[in-house]
Amino acid sequence: MTDPIQTMIQLLQTLIPLILGTILFSSTLMSPKRWLVAITLFVGISGPFIYSLFDEQSHPAIDANIGLGLSMLFVWICSGLLVLFALIRIYLNIKQQKN
């Protein structure tokens, strides 16, 4: 089995940017149900990563676990896209307020 500290580090380094991206993106939404959108985004994006991480814990592989790396990369890409969309929305809101 892998070290629990290493597992916690993988969880934190992947889910903290996702949490920040989700909060930043949901703060740009003007919908009254924006927290429902934020929770749905977070669970939908982090679900495959958490499943593959705990599957690795319960069934350790001798070789490299490509699925775990791909799920971590998926979460990072989605986090980056959420932050990018949020920054674009913030920029457009500021530009619209100036006009």
b/e per residue 35-51 (b: at least 16 CB within 10 A): eeebeebbeebbeebee
Per residue in 61-95, pLDDT (tens digit) is 777 778 888 888 999 999 999 999 999 999 998 99
Closest Cα to residue 79, out of 16, 9, 21, 12?
A: 21
Domain assignment present for 99: no
Q: Is the dihedral of CA 19, 20, 22, 26 positive or negative?
A: positive
* Domain encompassing residue 77: 4-94
Task: Assess if residue 25 is contained within a domain.
Answer: yes
Which tokens go with 70? 């791909």
Task: Give the number of domains in the chain.
Answer: 1
pLDDT digits (tens, 9 = 90+) for 37-64: 888 888 998 888 888 888 887 887 777 7
The token duo for 48 is 């495959």
